[in-house]
Structure 1
Amino acid sequence: MNTGDIISLISKISEKTNKFIINEMKSFGIKDLAPSHGDILFVLLKNEKLTMKEISEKINKDKSTVTALIDKLIKHGYVEKTRDFKDNRVVFVTLTKKGRELKPLFEAISHNLLSTAYKDINEEESEELLKTLVKLYNNF
């Protein structure tokens, strides 16, 4: 394998990861979400409410992309928008009851994903891989 194959392999791993997540969600009866929604739901599960800007920053996606993803999450009843009482220009995004109910499913999917991905990789290899990938990421 030459170093030019590394980026291609990372892309293929990303595709396989997304397929794995989609299949896992289907097995839990979740058919109205895509892996791209996961980042938003994940940060909202960790934070009670966030502005659109905060979500964009936390998931490293532009505001227009986040807006489109959140609009779909609203349509399916996972999140809602509310205005700040003090400053009507500020819009918060929060999980609905349906959105909060995803937490145990997301935890199970995450566990299944990680145990599948790392099944033949020991801790030392995992740590070295992480260091290398962080360096690659930071080069961009």
Structure 2
Amino acid sequence: MKTTDIISLISKIRDNANRFIVNEMDSWGVKGLAPSHGDIIFALLKNEKMTMNELARKIGKDKSTITALVNKLINQDYVQKTRDTEDNRVVFVTLTKKGRKLEPMFNKVSEDLLSTVYRNISQDEREELLKTLEKIKNNF
């Protein structure tokens, strides 16, 4: 493999991971969500409520993209928006009951994804891979 193929390889890994996630969600009966929706739900499972700006920073998307993703999740009753009682300009996003019910699925899909990703890769190789990928990311 040529070293110039790294971006193509990373792109293919991302595509495969996204396909894996969508297929797993389908098997749980969760339809119509993309992995980027899952990023928001996963963040909210870890943090009870977040502003749009916090979500944007957490998952690495711009605020307009987050707004569109959150609106779709609202339409599917997975999340809701509420205004801060002290500062009406601040809008929080929180999970609904339906959204919180996704936690077991998210935990299992995440576990299965990581198991697939790291199959036949030693702990030392994992650590070195993460260091290298972090360096590549920081180069940008």
Give the TM-score, by structure 1 length: 0.97
Name the counterpart of 1:71: 71
Residue equivalent to 2:102: 102
Deviation at 1:32, TM superposition (A): 2.1
Cα distance in 2 for residues equivalent to 1:18 and 1:113: 10
Aligned residues: 140
- Counterpart position of 2:35: 35
Percentage of pairs with the same residue: 66
- CA shift, 1:58, in A, is 1.1
Deviations 1:7-41, CA, capped at 9 Å, x for gaps: 11000000000000000000100012111111111
Name the counterpart of 2:26.
26
Superposition deviation, residue 60 in structure 1: 1.3
Aligned-pair distance for 1:67?
0.1
| SS of structure 2 residue aligned to 1:93 | strand
Tell me whether 1:118 sits opposite 2:118 in the alignment: yes
Q: Which residue of 1 aligns with 2:48?
A: 48
Q: 5+ residue gaps in structure 2?
A: none
Letter in 1 for 2:98: K
Q: Look up the SS of the partner of 2:50 in the other structure.
A: strand
For residues 9 and 57 of structure 1, what CA distance do their matches in structure 2 show? 26
Report the CA distance between 1:124 and its aligned residue: 1.0
Partner of 1:86: 86
Rounded to whole Å, the distance in 1 between the matches of 2:67 and 2:88 is 18
1:49-82 deviation digits (Å, cap 9, x = unpaired): 1111111111111000000000000000000000
Question: Secondary structure in 2 aligned to 1:25?
Answer: helix
Q: Which residue of 1 aligns with 2:136?
A: 136
Give every structure 1 segment of 4 or more consecutive aligned residues whose post-TM-superposition deviation is greater than 6 Å.
none
Tell me the secondary structure at the aligned position of residue 64 of structure 1: helix
